[in-house]
Amino acid sequence: MSTASLLSAYEQCQRRAYWGRDWERIRLDGTQMLQAAIAAAVTEAERTDFGEVAGEEIMQLAKDRGMQTNSHQIYDSAVHHSCLADITSSAIRKPGEEPWTRPEPLSTGWTSGAFLDPSGTRLRRVVLASSWSDDRHYSEIRSWYSLGEVAAYEMPMQQVVLILGVQRDGRRHSPWTKGLLHPTNHKLRFRKVKHTTTEDFRDTWERIWREDRAEIDRMVWLQTMLDDDVLRDVCFKVEIPVPGKVELQRLRDMAARKLERLAGMTELPDQQLSTCDFPIPCVYQRECHAGMEPGKERFVRIEAAGRT
């Protein structure tokens, strides 16, 4: 796990952080798969079809690790997320852009989960969200994933936010995945043209999913999102500057203290009952309440998963 992931887990539940040092769930949920797929696409150095790289990564992960989903249509959900990874990766890494890289681990022991932009002068992070609000905005920019990384490397961060829409039956509902086709000219649209009465989204317009329309080029899909003024609603950037020296040192000292306490844990900490289910159910919930250690039935050693 990255240092930011460990610190975030530690603040939610010490037991979660204790187990998270060594174990991770075998099956990955859609968001985890998307993060891995986008990472593969933005760091790809040889190929230029970044979207294809992301889509292939989803399908490989679904095959190798399995997909954690409430949907009974697991294969369909994997294909859906593959197409979502394709279109979002194509939106955030432009053709011809040099690959993003990972920052080197620091002598302080900090291992980054962020990226470096091609210039090497700014951190980048991709945030995946169902929706956005002021509360979510401040939650993200003040997290260890953002402010912690900025403090550790003393570099500004560009946070790329992708709004994926709500998830139902293993699918995300947003312009990234859904559109409408005109019944006669088959023109793709996402919203009505403002101040126009000649075009309307009547019942005759066909509602389509991205994965069912391979004939629509990804760049056409993205350009139509831009033309219909929906792209900026689901893809935008948040700039996070480097704080002042006093705040910078305070954040570094706080991280060092918490990491020292985490590293010093030799016995299983007490449960934190208030965080077992909300805001997100803990992945260790079953083992924790059954009084068991994580095992190979549902988890894999992080080293065995090829993670650091």
Q: What is the DSSP string of 70-82?
A: S-S-HHHHHHHHH
Residue 174: closest CA among 283, 61, 91, 51: 91
Query: What local confidence, expressed as pLDDT, does residue 201 receive?
Result: 58
Q: How many Å apart are CA 128 and CA 33, to the nearest integer?
A: 11
Residue keyed to tokens 């033309």 = 227
pTM (2 decimals)? Answer: 0.93
- What is the structure's pLDDT at 202? 59
**Domain-wise residue ranges, the chain:** 3-301
**Confidence at residue 306, expressed as pLDDT on a 0 to 100 scale:** 46
Looking at residue 278, its pLDDT comes to: 85
- Show pLDDT as tens, one digit a residue, over the chain (308 residues): 899 999 999 999 999 999 999 999 999 999 999 999 999 999 999 999 999 999 999 999 999 999 999 889 999 999 999 999 999 999 999 999 999 999 999 999 999 999 999 999 999 999 999 999 999 999 999 999 999 999 999 999 999 999 999 999 999 999 999 999 988 888 999 975 554 445 555 567 899 999 999 999 999 999 999 999 999 999 999 999 999 999 999 999 999 999 999 999 999 999 999 999 988 889 999 999 999 999 988 999 987 554 43
Q: What is the DSSP secondary-structure string of 177-243?
A: TEEEE-TTT--EESSPPTT-SS----TTSEEEEGGG-TTS-HHHHHHHHHHTT-HHHHEEEEEEPPP
Rounded to whole angstroms, the Cα distance separating 150 from 241 reads 8
What contacts 100, CB < 8 A, 6 or more positions away? 42, 43, 93, 115, 116, 117, 118, 124
Report helix angle 3-12 to 245-263, nearest 10: 70
Cα dihedral sign, 296-301-302-306: negative
Res 164: pLDDT: 98
Angstrom distance (rounded) from CA 211 to CA 191: 20
59 and 87 Cβ atoms separated by less than 8 Å: no
H or E stretch covering 24: strand 23-25
Residue 200 pLDDT? 58
Residue in 119, 117, 86 with CA at minimum distance from that of residue 101:
117
